[in-house]
Amino acid sequence: MSNIKDPSLKDALIPILSLIALLSLSVSLFGDSSSAGPNQIVLIIGAAIASIIAVRNGHTWNDIQAAMVAGIGTAMGAILILLSVGGLIGTWMMAGTVPSMIYYGLELMNPHVFYAATCLICSISSLSIGSSWTVAGTLGVGLIGVAMGLGLSPEITAGAVVSGAYFGDKMSPLSDTTNLAPAVVGTDLFTHIRHMVWTTTPSFIIALTMFAIVGLGTDVNTDSAALEQTMDTLSSSFNITPLALFPLAVVFFLAMRKFPPLPTILFGALLGGITAVILQPDVVLAFADSSSVGKGLGFTKGVWLALADGYVSSTGVADVDSLLSRGGMSSMLTTIWLIISALAFGAVLEHAGMLERLIRSALKMAKSTGSLVATVVCTCIGVNIIAADQYMAIVLPGKMYKAEFARRNLDSRNLSRIIEDSGTLTSPLVPWNTCGAYMAATLGVATFAYLPFAFFNLINPLVSIAYGYTGFTIKRIDEDKDILTS
């Protein structure tokens, strides 16, 4: 260990700048398909560059490899959830759960208020269960389908889903990130939540207003004949019934009872298969092509295929078939590849001390309270980009800035709020972050496509910075009053 050198700022910047340059080249060469393989190669090359620098600074390859394995290991829970969500989408398509959600949504939703309603529905649901991933993987999938049926933008809809889902994820006492942030910095959960109300409430109101304005200003040219054809196709191809929503109700019930996400979603996927056999037997047998195996094994084969490779719709209506041909665990493999590559890159930077070196340099520039808040926000965003993990973006800045906040007589509740305002909320805006990759794979909309419309996630960090510079609701350790100047 004595031969290991601390990385210089140049050492820390080389892998970052290399990554930025190569990702830019990847996007320019491959466009929207860059996340289907080229970006993964870029991240692996970035990890290799960082490893070379780490070895030069005295780290052994065995230690670097162990760090990468450990870093990837932190996402195994997320990877298993991704696979389970893929299976859930496949069986829920075949069970008529998602088609029923789409059908009822087309009947009930007014296109002009759809975006704001989507955001509000997802926020209430996520607040009640504390999981943005569960909301996106269930309600989000159906709402994307409703948007496409109404002729509305799936990108804006995805932005509304992400905004609403992350509002609840951030404010719910059931959320893991909401519990993690105060634990890292040393404040209690409900003090943390009360302090977040000051930045989160105005941010969410602004976001809802923007979705309402976008919706009211949308020129909805819904072809009534096409809409009627979609609804007729859904009702003739599936048994559209409230009973098909039973798997959705069960998943939300289990989530509200604080069952772990993985078994909850996996059970929901299996329940979707059972529901499909009961409510949509003809659909299952047709999908399984059961003529060669018989009726009994045909049901097993159909559910098995939907879990593994997703459901493939064959209604004969191209738009509906495109909408319903989704899911399967295999559909998540490219996303998992992206997550593994990104985490390997981030793990090398953390192990070699490069992330810490970058944070130390950033801290030197933070002279005032406002600039300190801005520095923490930028650090959380940077860790989301570099380390590709939401939890790292909370834990690492929380640990690194905790002593500095105490030194400046700033209460720890300020820090816990800031890292949630930025670390939690910007994680789904990075394509290779576990959260961004999950949202893109689940909703079927590329991260950069929905990013401009994730209004809440974009606004909240800016509000947090504004509060830092004005001193509004920034609390001191030694007195329970606002700092009026920064």
The angle formed by the CA atoms of residues 39, 42 and 48, to the nearest 5 degrees, is 150
Query: Please, which pLDDT band fits residue 106 given cuts at 50, 70 and 90?
Result: confident
- Domain positions in the chain are 76-331
Does residue 1 surpass a pLDDT of 80?
A: no
- Taking residues 127-138, report their average pLDDT: 88
The pLDDT assigned to 19 comes to 87
Does residue 483 surpass a pLDDT of 50?
A: no
Q: Please provide residue 110's backbone torsions phi and psi, each rounded to the nearest 5 degrees.
A: -85, 125
Where residue 282 falls (left for φ over 0; alpha for ψ -120 to 50; beta otherwise) is alpha
Give the tens place of pLDDT for each residue, 369-422.
999 999 999 999 988 988 888 888 888 888 888 888 998 999 999 999 999 999
CA terminus-to-terminus distance, the chain = 42
- Taking residues 94-102, report their average pLDDT: 91
Query: Please, which pLDDT band fits residue 221 given cuts at 50, 70 and 90?
Result: low
- Please, are residues 62 and 114 in contact by the beta-carbon 8 Å criterion? no
Pairwise pLDDT comparison (397 vs 226), residue with the higher score: 397
- Taking residues 94-116, report their average pLDDT: 89
Specify which residues 317 forms β-bridges with: none
Query: Please, which pLDDT band fits residue 94 given cuts at 50, 70 and 90?
Result: very high
- Please, are residues 307 and 90 in contact by the beta-carbon 8 Å criterion? yes
Q: Please provide residue 365's backbone torsions phi and psi, each rounded to the nearest 5 degrees.
A: -90, -10
Does residue 485 surpass a pLDDT of 50?
A: no
Mean pLDDT of the chain: 89
Pairwise pLDDT comparison (210 vs 400), residue with the higher score: 210
Nearest CA to 54 out of 355, 380, 360 is that of 355
What distances in angstroms separate CA 344 from CA 18, 47, 69, 72, one per listed residue? 15, 6, 7, 6
- Taking residues 239-248, report their average pLDDT: 93
The pLDDT assigned to 2 comes to 58
